[in-house]
Structure 1
Amino acid sequence: MSQPRATKVLVIGYVWPEPRSSAASGHVMQILDTFLQQGWDITFSSPAGTGEHRADLTALGIREVPIELNNSSFDAFISELAPDIVLFDQFMMEEQFGWRVEKHCPDALRVLETSDLQSLRHARHQRLKERLKHSDDANDFSELFAPALREEFELMADSDLAKREIAALYRCDVNLMISEVEIELLVEQFKLPRNVLHWCPLMVDVPVAPPTAFVDRAHFLSIGNFRHAPNWDAVLWMKTAIWPLIREQLPTAQLHIYGAYTPPKATALHNPAQGFHVMNWAEDALQVMSAARVCLAPLRFGAGIKGKIVDAMLCGTPSVTTPIGAEAMHGNHPWPGAVALTAREVADCAVRLYRDEVLWTQAQSNGQKLLADRYRQSEHGPALIKKLVHCQQHLPQLRSHNFMGSMLRHHHHKSTQYMAQWIEAKNKVPL
């Protein structure tokens, strides 16, 4: 008796994954690993160039196939591949390739991996810029943190980015959401059907070995890809407001800042005399996190959940962040460190954790419990597979109950198809 054919998955990535550079790529790799555990047949494609820290997918048994934007070669490729599931990594890939997938593989389950709501992050960034424009107070940003969902909706709704992103979510059969707050925003304010949204946070294996002890650690640490605007903004806030307040209380304190793709504007902030060290990319982020005593993540805007804070918990490193950093991360659990509203609060909380071994040890314990309760791969991986299989089995009903998505696909895919074909024809005309 022949074995059933393995499920074929095509992942269309905005970039080739770099899990050691960004949490978004880390999440994609966790999803790929979940598929591999099922024995699924995976092809990863992207129109992007290759980054210097990209993962070796072929070593994992995943085919890598470069693709081009606005090129009908993709049509032949996907027709021959005939995937059962197509996963778009970020909504821009659904915008570019969604019509081609629907035309050539109409029965393939269309899944969108969001990482975070980009339109929410962008709207919060605009709000911060307005605040900075109209006030020179570098300390208190509490009015920016954790507004009501209706306020977030009103902040986002008029933007072109939100209209594009929300439309892509409607057009897909399943959307993988990393943040429960964003799920509620989409359901309550943007009126997406709840059954097209699936909570899939960062998925990790909880460490068995005890983490490094308080006495064996030193220094403060901050980490994050410099191409991600919230990370760069946090570095600026630390440099101008938070770090001087910490050094007032701990004159010999050292802050080590790691991040991929460090730009010259960041290295220009390097100042060993002030204990402010810009260290560039970390070859092993968990190793440097395990050596630090306190992780600083003072985010003034952002969305999704924070990979650096999950890494801190994995390493048993207490963290100090803002309500933006803590959003959707801890449920009813106590925070593994401190959540602060102002530069002064961030500094004071960081110093207390750095000095107080009892407080620090309790924060570490809180992190271990939080990881076990909310981020286990052994729970979220099977839940993801169950959701996708269920949607495959009930795809006609799922689509019939999402008229808005069907309508948006009809209008968007036609206009995108004609634009793509025009660009392709134009590119073939000799100069």
Structure 2
Amino acid sequence: MKHLVIIGLVIPEPASTAAGQRMMQLIQLFTEAGYQISFLTTSNNIEFSEKIEIHKIEINNNSFDEKIKSLNPDIVLFDRYVTEEQFGWRVSENCPQALKILDTEDLHFLREARRKAFVEKREVRDWDFINDIFKREIASILRCDLSLIISEFEYRLLTEKFKINSDILFYIPFLTEKTEKNKTPFEDRQHFVSLGNFLHEPNWQTVLKLKSIWKNIRKDLPQAELHIYGAYAREKVFQLHNEKEGFIVKGRAGSIENIFNQYKVLLAPIPFGAGLKGKLWESMKFGLPNVTSSVGAEAMHKDLPWNGFIEDSDEKFIQKSIELYQNKTVWNWANANAFRILEEVFDKNSYVIDFWDKVLKIENNLGNHRTENFMGQILQHHQLNSVKYMSRWIEEKNKRDILE
């Protein structure tokens, strides 16, 4: 049996985060292919995690070397570039024949570029991309044998703008296995909903935007309420709660399916970010139309009609939110669009065969694959001669501190 080792930044929380859903989909993909799977992490977020085989590891500790050698993986999957920085060189030293795959989740340098522009109230410029995260993340992509890209926009950004060789990239979005028609009709639903974990800054900014425009929606729909769900909500989030205004902060969500099957419209005026938006993908699956921004819908529907509306101005966002809430014909039209998007953009069968063909091709030609990725070899060399020795120095320092 082949063995996959995942080095996770955090333990997957599919009920709370899109990243958690993404990771569990990849785990399922490898499980279906017959892989034994071990999940290694420094994280402690056990309470809301899935039941998976978890091994605790430490940064800057040579106990990892023995652990990875004993596991002897065929493939090592890094969860975001940070884990590759921390443990990639140790994997290369101790398991040089293991195929190294990076799941980017989304491009963090793109999110940072957009965050900076948002804070400064301007458009993103080319030089915003070349930030410190860009240098680290691209280096990590180059050091790995294959990087998984969740967004077609990000795939094009890497290959066209930054000239990353497509041989070391694979586009694989959220995966939908089957779609069921909406079970809860328009007339049996009520209220608006917003969803997103508050460890993620764009979700907090989304809620602030909703707070600022909600009174204009409520003016036309005085019986409607907006319910805010999200894990890791701090006091500043609950301070926005106002029952008189119909702005209700609910906190951590339970079953996403149960929640999405009772509301009429999802509101997601996402101001910045990257990757794909899990809440919008799920709204399609559960028959919940939405109103979102251009950033929210980015790379999620090709050129197909959206399952609701995409609006960036406050005025139009408010107008379309009210229309979608009141007009059954428009609401049903949006729902029909959702199922077409799921079938044409996110269908699992469209990606699985090509994914395994790519993995097997690299596995069977690993030496040449790495030789042709000469920039990756250069960066690997420098990582081994910089990060490695810094980590070794920290190890020794920690030992001395314990003895003292």
Q: TM-score, normalised by structure 1?
A: 0.91
Contact 1:69 1:96 in 2 (8 A): yes
Partner of 1:134: none
Q: Does 1:97 align with 2:97?
A: no
Structure 2 CA distance for aligned equivalents of residues 205 and 211 of structure 1: 18
Partner of 1:184: 156
Contact 1:14 1:46 in 2 (8 A): yes
3-state DSSP class of the match of 2:334?
helix
Partner of 1:414: 385
Structure 2 CA distance for aligned equivalents of residues 384 and 276 of structure 1: 44
Match of 2:175, as an amino acid? Answer: M
Partner of 2:302: 331
3-state DSSP class of the match of 2:7?
strand
Which runs of 4 or more aligned residues in structure 1 lie more than 6 Å from their structure 2 counterparts after TM superposition? none
Where do 1:335-346 residues align within 5 Å? 335-346=306-317
Partner of 1:16: 11
3-state DSSP class of the match of 2:135?
helix
How far off is 1:397 after superposition? 1.9
Q: Does 1:79 align with 2:69?
A: yes
Q: Does 1:198 align with 2:170?
A: yes
Match of 1:252, as an amino acid? Answer: Q
How far off is 1:156 after superposition? 1.3
Q: Does 1:28 align with 2:23?
A: yes
Partner of 1:396: 367
How far off is 1:374 after superposition? 1.2
Structure 1 CA distance for aligned equivalents of residues 204 and 46 of structure 2: 20
Structure 2 CA distance for aligned equivalents of residues 113 and 413 of structure 1: 21
Structure 2 CA distance for aligned equivalents of residues 418 and 311 of structure 1: 44
How far off is 1:253 after superposition? 1.6
> CA offsets, 1:71-90, max 9 Å, x none?
10111111121111000001
Contact 2:182 2:286 in 1 (8 A): no
Match of 1:323, as an amino acid? Answer: S
Structure 2 CA distance for aligned equivalents of residues 30 and 303 of structure 1: 19
Structure 2 CA distance for aligned equivalents of residues 424 and 18 of structure 1: 31
Contact 2:180 2:285 in 1 (8 A): no
Match of 2:172, as an amino acid? Answer: C
Q: Does 1:154 align with 2:127?
A: yes
Q: 1:173 aligns with which of 137, 145, 151?
A: 145
How far off is 1:286 after superposition? 1.6
Structure 1 CA distance for aligned equivalents of residues 384 and 214 of structure 2: 50
Where do 1:337-416 residues align within 5 Å? 337-416=308-387
Partner of 1:261: 232
Match of 2:30, as an amino acid? Answer: F
Structure 2 CA distance for aligned equivalents of residues 307 and 51 of structure 1: 21
Match of 1:399, as an amino acid? Answer: R
Where do 1:267-346 residues align within 5 Å? 267-346=238-317
The percentage of counterpart residues that share the same residue type is: 41
Q: TM-score, normalised by structure 2?
A: 0.97
Structure 2 CA distance for aligned equivalents of residues 325 and 391 of structure 1: 34
Contact 2:109 2:134 in 1 (8 A): yes
Structure 1 CA distance for aligned equivalents of residues 354 and 235 of structure 2: 43
**Which of the pair has the greater relative contact order for Cα pairs under 8 Å at 6+ separation?**
1
Match of 1:197, as an amino acid? Answer: L
Match of 2:376, as an amino acid? Answer: G
How far off is 1:209 after superposition? 4.7
Match of 1:321, as an amino acid? Answer: T
How far off is 1:206 after superposition? 2.4
Match of 1:39, as an amino acid? Answer: G
Contact 1:114 1:176 in 2 (8 A): yes
Structure 2 CA distance for aligned equivalents of residues 386 and 216 of structure 1: 46
Q: 2:186 aligns with which of 214, 226, 231?
A: 214
Structure 2 CA distance for aligned equivalents of residues 382 and 68 of structure 1: 35
> CA offsets, 1:122-167, max 9 Å, x none?
1111111111xxxxxxxxxxx64xx6xxx4x42111x111111111
Structure 1 CA distance for aligned equivalents of residues 46 and 187 of structure 2: 38
Of stretches 209-218 and 361-370 in structure 1, the one that deviates more from structure 2 is 209-218
RMSD of equivalent CA atoms: 1.2
How far off is 1:413 after superposition? 2.4
Structure 2 CA distance for aligned equivalents of residues 74 and 106 of structure 1: 15
Structure 2 CA distance for aligned equivalents of residues 238 and 198 of structure 1: 35
Contact 2:269 2:312 in 1 (8 A): no
Structure 1 CA distance for aligned equivalents of residues 143 and 384 of structure 2: 10
Partner of 2:39: 44
Partner of 1:139: none
Match of 2:28, as an amino acid? Answer: D
Structure 2 CA distance for aligned equivalents of residues 303 and 210 of structure 1: 28
Structure 2 CA distance for aligned equivalents of residues 384 and 210 of structure 1: 30
Structure 1 CA distance for aligned equivalents of residues 77 and 382 of structure 2: 21
Structure 1 CA distance for aligned equivalents of residues 254 and 90 of structure 2: 39
Contact 2:181 2:287 in 1 (8 A): no
3-state DSSP class of the match of 1:347?
helix
3-state DSSP class of the match of 1:222?
strand
Contact 1:257 1:277 in 2 (8 A): yes
